[in-house]
Amino acid sequence: MANLGIPQNTIEILQKYGFRFQKKYGQNFLIDTRVLERIVEAAGITKEDMVLEIGPGIGTMTQYLAESAREVVAVEIDNNLIPILGETLAAYDNVTVLNEDILKVDIAKLVEERNGGKPIKVVANLPYYITTPIVMGLLESKVPLESITIMVQKEVADRMQEGPGSKDYGALSLAVQYYSKPEIVANVPANCFMPRPNVGSAVIRLTRYQEPLVAVKDEKYMFNLIRASFNQRRKTLANGLSHAPELGVSREDVVAVLQQVGLSETIRGEALTLDQFAELSDLLGKEE
Protein backbone atom coordinates (compact mmCIF):
# COMPACT_ATOMS: atom_id res chain seq x y z
CA MET A 1 0.00 0.00 0.00
CA ALA A 2 1.21 3.51 -0.82
CA ASN A 3 2.83 5.46 2.04
CA LEU A 4 0.16 7.95 3.18
CA GLY A 5 2.81 10.18 4.74
CA ILE A 6 3.40 11.39 1.16
CA PRO A 7 0.83 14.15 0.48
CA GLN A 8 -0.02 12.99 -3.06
CA ASN A 9 -1.05 9.55 -1.79
CA THR A 10 -3.28 11.09 0.87
CA ILE A 11 -4.97 13.34 -1.70
CA GLU A 12 -5.56 10.38 -4.02
CA ILE A 13 -7.25 8.21 -1.40
CA LEU A 14 -9.41 11.09 -0.12
CA GLN A 15 -10.56 11.88 -3.67
CA LYS A 16 -11.22 8.23 -4.44
CA TYR A 17 -13.66 8.00 -1.51
CA GLY A 18 -15.00 11.55 -1.84
CA PHE A 19 -14.02 12.15 1.78
CA ARG A 20 -15.06 15.42 3.42
CA PHE A 21 -13.25 16.66 6.52
CA GLN A 22 -15.57 17.05 9.49
CA LYS A 23 -15.02 20.03 11.73
CA LYS A 24 -16.79 18.33 14.65
CA TYR A 25 -14.04 15.67 14.76
CA GLY A 26 -11.18 18.19 14.42
CA GLN A 27 -9.63 16.16 11.59
CA ASN A 28 -6.11 17.07 10.46
CA PHE A 29 -4.15 14.27 8.77
CA LEU A 30 -0.37 14.12 9.04
CA ILE A 31 1.50 14.37 5.74
CA ASP A 32 5.15 14.31 6.74
CA THR A 33 7.15 11.09 6.78
CA ARG A 34 9.85 12.47 9.10
CA VAL A 35 7.29 13.42 11.75
CA LEU A 36 5.66 9.98 11.49
CA GLU A 37 9.03 8.27 11.95
CA ARG A 38 9.80 10.54 14.90
CA ILE A 39 6.52 9.62 16.66
CA VAL A 40 7.12 5.88 16.32
CA GLU A 41 10.72 6.35 17.50
CA ALA A 42 9.66 8.54 20.47
CA ALA A 43 7.02 6.00 21.50
CA GLY A 44 9.74 3.30 21.48
CA ILE A 45 7.53 0.80 19.66
CA THR A 46 8.95 -2.74 19.42
CA LYS A 47 7.70 -6.10 18.20
CA GLU A 48 6.77 -6.90 21.81
CA ASP A 49 4.23 -4.08 21.97
CA MET A 50 0.52 -3.77 21.68
CA VAL A 51 -0.32 -0.22 20.62
CA LEU A 52 -3.65 1.52 21.06
CA GLU A 53 -4.01 4.21 18.42
CA ILE A 54 -6.69 6.83 18.94
CA GLY A 55 -8.07 8.47 15.80
CA PRO A 56 -6.18 6.71 12.98
CA GLY A 57 -7.87 8.89 10.33
CA ILE A 58 -7.02 7.30 6.98
CA GLY A 59 -4.38 5.07 8.56
CA THR A 60 -1.28 7.19 7.94
CA MET A 61 0.37 6.59 11.31
CA THR A 62 -1.28 3.18 11.66
CA GLN A 63 0.86 1.90 8.76
CA TYR A 64 4.03 3.01 10.56
CA LEU A 65 2.87 1.52 13.86
CA ALA A 66 1.92 -1.79 12.23
CA GLU A 67 5.45 -2.10 10.79
CA SER A 68 6.98 -1.75 14.27
CA ALA A 69 4.49 -3.24 16.74
CA ARG A 70 3.25 -6.74 17.45
CA GLU A 71 -0.35 -5.58 17.33
CA VAL A 72 -2.23 -2.31 16.77
CA VAL A 73 -5.80 -1.60 17.84
CA ALA A 74 -6.99 1.61 16.17
CA VAL A 75 -10.15 3.31 17.46
CA GLU A 76 -11.86 5.61 14.94
CA ILE A 77 -15.11 7.46 15.68
CA ASP A 78 -15.89 8.61 12.11
CA ASN A 79 -17.65 5.80 10.24
CA ASN A 80 -16.89 7.52 6.90
CA LEU A 81 -13.25 6.55 7.46
CA ILE A 82 -13.87 2.84 8.05
CA PRO A 83 -13.99 1.81 4.34
CA ILE A 84 -10.84 3.87 3.68
CA LEU A 85 -9.03 2.14 6.57
CA GLY A 86 -10.17 -1.19 5.12
CA GLU A 87 -8.16 -0.37 2.00
CA THR A 88 -5.13 1.45 3.44
CA LEU A 89 -4.52 -1.22 6.12
CA ALA A 90 -5.42 -4.27 4.01
CA ALA A 91 -1.78 -5.40 3.88
CA TYR A 92 -1.46 -5.65 7.68
CA ASP A 93 -2.79 -8.64 9.57
CA ASN A 94 -1.76 -7.21 12.95
CA VAL A 95 -4.22 -4.27 12.92
CA THR A 96 -7.77 -4.21 14.30
CA VAL A 97 -9.95 -1.17 13.61
CA LEU A 98 -12.78 -0.38 16.05
CA ASN A 99 -15.43 2.11 14.90
CA GLU A 100 -16.09 3.55 18.35
CA ASP A 101 -15.75 6.60 20.58
CA ILE A 102 -12.54 6.13 22.61
CA LEU A 103 -14.20 7.68 25.67
CA LYS A 104 -16.68 4.78 25.69
CA VAL A 105 -14.24 1.92 25.00
CA ASP A 106 -13.45 -0.45 27.86
CA ILE A 107 -9.68 -0.15 27.47
CA ALA A 108 -8.89 -2.30 30.53
CA LYS A 109 -10.85 -5.17 28.98
CA LEU A 110 -9.04 -4.67 25.67
CA VAL A 111 -5.65 -4.78 27.43
CA GLU A 112 -6.64 -7.93 29.30
CA GLU A 113 -7.85 -9.73 26.16
CA ARG A 114 -5.17 -8.58 23.71
CA ASN A 115 -2.11 -8.11 25.89
CA GLY A 116 -2.63 -10.40 28.88
CA GLY A 117 -3.07 -7.35 31.14
CA LYS A 118 0.49 -6.13 30.46
CA PRO A 119 1.01 -2.37 29.94
CA ILE A 120 0.31 -1.03 26.44
CA LYS A 121 1.55 2.04 24.59
CA VAL A 122 -0.91 4.64 23.37
CA VAL A 123 -0.22 6.75 20.27
CA ALA A 124 -2.55 9.43 18.93
CA ASN A 125 -2.93 12.56 16.85
CA LEU A 126 -5.57 14.26 18.98
CA PRO A 127 -7.97 17.05 18.06
CA TYR A 128 -7.68 20.03 20.36
CA TYR A 129 -11.22 19.94 21.75
CA ILE A 130 -10.90 16.42 23.19
CA THR A 131 -7.23 16.23 24.22
CA THR A 132 -7.77 16.77 27.95
CA PRO A 133 -10.69 14.33 28.46
CA ILE A 134 -8.83 11.59 26.58
CA VAL A 135 -5.49 12.08 28.33
CA MET A 136 -7.04 12.41 31.78
CA GLY A 137 -9.35 9.46 31.12
CA LEU A 138 -6.36 7.28 30.27
CA LEU A 139 -4.28 8.40 33.25
CA GLU A 140 -7.06 8.32 35.86
CA SER A 141 -8.53 5.01 34.75
CA LYS A 142 -5.52 3.08 36.04
CA VAL A 143 -5.44 1.09 32.76
CA PRO A 144 -2.05 -0.69 32.42
CA LEU A 145 -0.11 1.90 30.40
CA GLU A 146 3.56 2.26 29.67
CA SER A 147 3.38 5.56 27.83
CA ILE A 148 1.14 7.92 25.86
CA THR A 149 2.79 9.57 22.84
CA ILE A 150 0.48 12.15 21.35
CA MET A 151 0.37 14.96 18.84
CA VAL A 152 -1.47 17.90 20.40
CA GLN A 153 -1.72 21.64 20.01
CA LYS A 154 1.64 23.18 20.98
CA GLU A 155 0.05 25.28 23.69
CA VAL A 156 -1.47 22.18 25.33
CA ALA A 157 1.86 20.31 25.21
CA ASP A 158 3.54 23.32 26.89
CA ARG A 159 0.86 23.34 29.57
CA MET A 160 1.38 19.63 30.31
CA GLN A 161 5.07 20.05 31.13
CA GLU A 162 4.99 23.51 32.73
CA GLY A 163 6.09 24.15 36.32
CA PRO A 164 4.90 26.58 39.03
CA GLY A 165 4.95 30.32 38.43
CA SER A 166 4.13 30.26 34.72
CA LYS A 167 0.87 31.42 33.16
CA ASP A 168 0.56 28.03 31.40
CA TYR A 169 0.80 26.12 34.68
CA GLY A 170 -2.54 24.82 35.91
CA ALA A 171 -4.73 21.86 36.79
CA LEU A 172 -3.76 19.97 33.60
CA SER A 173 -0.01 20.39 34.31
CA LEU A 174 -0.41 19.04 37.83
CA ALA A 175 -2.63 16.12 36.86
CA VAL A 176 -0.33 15.01 34.02
CA GLN A 177 2.76 15.37 36.22
CA TYR A 178 1.16 13.46 39.10
CA TYR A 179 0.71 10.37 36.92
CA SER A 180 3.52 10.66 34.36
CA LYS A 181 6.73 12.26 33.20
CA PRO A 182 5.90 14.62 30.29
CA GLU A 183 8.49 15.36 27.61
CA ILE A 184 8.00 17.28 24.37
CA VAL A 185 9.85 15.28 21.71
CA ALA A 186 9.08 17.31 18.56
CA ASN A 187 7.49 20.56 17.47
CA VAL A 188 5.41 20.18 14.31
CA PRO A 189 4.54 23.13 12.06
CA ALA A 190 1.05 23.53 10.56
CA ASN A 191 2.22 22.67 7.02
CA CYS A 192 2.73 19.02 8.08
CA PHE A 193 -1.04 18.51 8.11
CA MET A 194 -3.93 18.36 5.72
CA PRO A 195 -6.00 20.46 6.08
CA ARG A 196 -3.58 22.90 7.59
CA PRO A 197 -4.55 23.87 11.17
CA ASN A 198 -4.34 27.46 12.44
CA VAL A 199 -1.90 26.56 15.21
CA GLY A 200 1.39 24.76 15.65
CA SER A 201 1.46 21.29 17.18
CA ALA A 202 3.86 19.25 19.28
CA VAL A 203 4.47 15.60 20.01
CA ILE A 204 4.62 14.93 23.74
CA ARG A 205 5.42 11.64 25.42
CA LEU A 206 3.93 10.93 28.84
CA THR A 207 5.81 8.09 30.53
CA ARG A 208 3.55 6.58 33.15
CA TYR A 209 4.89 6.31 36.72
CA GLN A 210 4.44 2.95 38.45
CA GLU A 211 3.29 4.91 41.48
CA PRO A 212 2.15 8.57 41.43
CA LEU A 213 4.92 11.07 42.03
CA VAL A 214 3.65 12.19 45.44
CA ALA A 215 1.80 10.37 48.19
CA VAL A 216 -1.59 11.84 49.11
CA LYS A 217 -4.34 10.49 51.37
CA ASP A 218 -7.25 11.36 49.10
CA GLU A 219 -6.45 11.77 45.41
CA LYS A 220 -9.96 12.98 44.50
CA TYR A 221 -9.93 15.64 47.20
CA MET A 222 -6.51 16.87 46.07
CA PHE A 223 -7.70 17.28 42.47
CA ASN A 224 -10.84 19.11 43.63
CA LEU A 225 -8.54 21.40 45.60
CA ILE A 226 -6.25 21.91 42.58
CA ARG A 227 -9.19 22.71 40.27
CA ALA A 228 -10.60 25.17 42.82
CA SER A 229 -7.16 26.84 43.05
CA PHE A 230 -7.11 27.54 39.32
CA ASN A 231 -10.82 28.19 38.68
CA GLN A 232 -10.30 31.86 39.42
CA ARG A 233 -6.61 32.46 38.95
CA ARG A 234 -6.74 36.05 40.19
CA LYS A 235 -8.02 34.99 43.60
CA THR A 236 -5.70 34.12 46.45
CA LEU A 237 -5.72 30.47 47.46
CA ALA A 238 -7.50 31.31 50.72
CA ASN A 239 -10.39 32.98 48.85
CA GLY A 240 -10.58 30.48 46.00
CA LEU A 241 -10.66 27.37 48.21
CA SER A 242 -13.12 28.77 50.74
CA HIS A 243 -15.58 29.48 47.88
CA ALA A 244 -15.46 25.89 46.59
CA PRO A 245 -18.43 24.03 48.13
CA GLU A 246 -17.00 20.58 47.31
CA LEU A 247 -14.03 21.24 49.64
CA GLY A 248 -16.08 22.23 52.68
CA VAL A 249 -13.45 24.55 54.16
CA SER A 250 -13.63 28.10 55.52
CA ARG A 251 -11.19 30.89 54.76
CA GLU A 252 -9.92 30.56 58.35
CA ASP A 253 -9.21 26.85 57.82
CA VAL A 254 -7.18 27.58 54.69
CA VAL A 255 -5.22 30.45 56.26
CA ALA A 256 -4.39 28.30 59.30
CA VAL A 257 -3.10 25.44 57.13
CA LEU A 258 -1.10 27.81 54.91
CA GLN A 259 0.57 29.25 58.03
CA GLN A 260 1.23 25.74 59.30
CA VAL A 261 3.20 24.87 56.15
CA GLY A 262 4.96 28.24 56.03
CA LEU A 263 3.07 29.82 53.12
CA SER A 264 1.64 33.34 52.93
CA GLU A 265 -2.14 33.75 53.14
CA THR A 266 -1.97 35.86 49.95
CA ILE A 267 -0.34 33.10 47.88
CA ARG A 268 -2.02 32.01 44.64
CA GLY A 269 -2.42 28.46 43.32
CA GLU A 270 0.03 28.93 40.46
CA ALA A 271 2.92 29.33 42.94
CA LEU A 272 2.45 25.90 44.53
CA THR A 273 4.22 22.67 43.60
CA LEU A 274 2.52 19.28 43.39
CA ASP A 275 4.07 18.33 46.77
CA GLN A 276 2.61 21.44 48.37
CA PHE A 277 -0.86 20.72 46.96
CA ALA A 278 -0.64 17.18 48.34
CA GLU A 279 0.37 18.52 51.75
CA LEU A 280 -2.50 21.05 51.78
CA SER A 281 -4.93 18.36 50.69
CA ASP A 282 -3.87 16.04 53.52
CA LEU A 283 -4.20 18.83 56.10
CA LEU A 284 -7.49 20.28 54.84
CA GLY A 285 -9.22 17.03 53.90
CA LYS A 286 -11.58 15.79 56.56
CA GLU A 287 -10.59 12.43 57.93
CA GLU A 288 -13.21 9.80 57.11
CATH of the domain at 40: 3.40.50.150
In a domain? residue 99:
yes
Tell whether 154 and 262 lie within a shared domain: no
Tell whether 225 and 176 lie within a shared domain: no
**Which of 183, 208, 233 is the last residue in one of the domains?**
208
Tell whether 278 and 194 lie within a shared domain: no
In a domain? residue 149:
yes
Q: What is the CATH number of the domain that holds 260?
A: 1.10.8.100
Tell whether 170 and 223 lie within a shared domain: no
Q: How confident is the model at residue 287 (pLDDT cuts 50, 70, 90)?
A: low
Give the list of residues 6+ apart from residue 85 with CB closer than 8 angstroms, or none: 56, 58, 59, 62, 74, 76, 97
In a domain? residue 214:
no
In a domain? residue 80:
yes
Tell whether 108 and 150 lie within a shared domain: yes
Residue 288 has what pLDDT?
Answer: 42
Share of the chain above pLDDT 90, in %: 85
CA-based nearest residue to 206, from 86, 25, 93, 42? 42
Share of the chain above pLDDT 70, in %: 99
Q: Which domain does 129 fall in, by range? A: 7-208
Structure confidence by residue, pLDDT tens digits, 45-65: 999 999 999 999 999 999 999
Tell whether 178 and 261 lie within a shared domain: no
Instruction: Tell me how many domains the chain contains.
Output: 2
Tell whether 223 and 257 lie within a shared domain: yes
**Which of 147, 181, 208 is the last residue in one of the domains?**
208
Tell whether 227 and 89 lie within a shared domain: no
Does pTM surpass 0.75? yes
Give the list of residues 6+ apart from residue 183 with CB closer than 8 angstroms, or none: 161, 204, 205, 206, 207
In a domain? residue 133:
yes
Mean pLDDT of the chain: 93
Q: Is the dihedral of CA 245, 251, 254, 258 positive or negative?
A: positive
Residue 61 has what pLDDT?
Answer: 96
Q: Kind of pairing, strands 95-98 and 71-75?
A: parallel
Tell whether 198 and 60 lie within a shared domain: yes
In a domain? residue 213:
no
18-32, 74-88, 128-142: which is most confident? 74-88
Structure confidence by residue, pLDDT tens digits, 181-231: 999 999 999 999 998 998 999 999 999 999 898 999 999 999 999 999 998
Residue 22 has what pLDDT?
Answer: 77
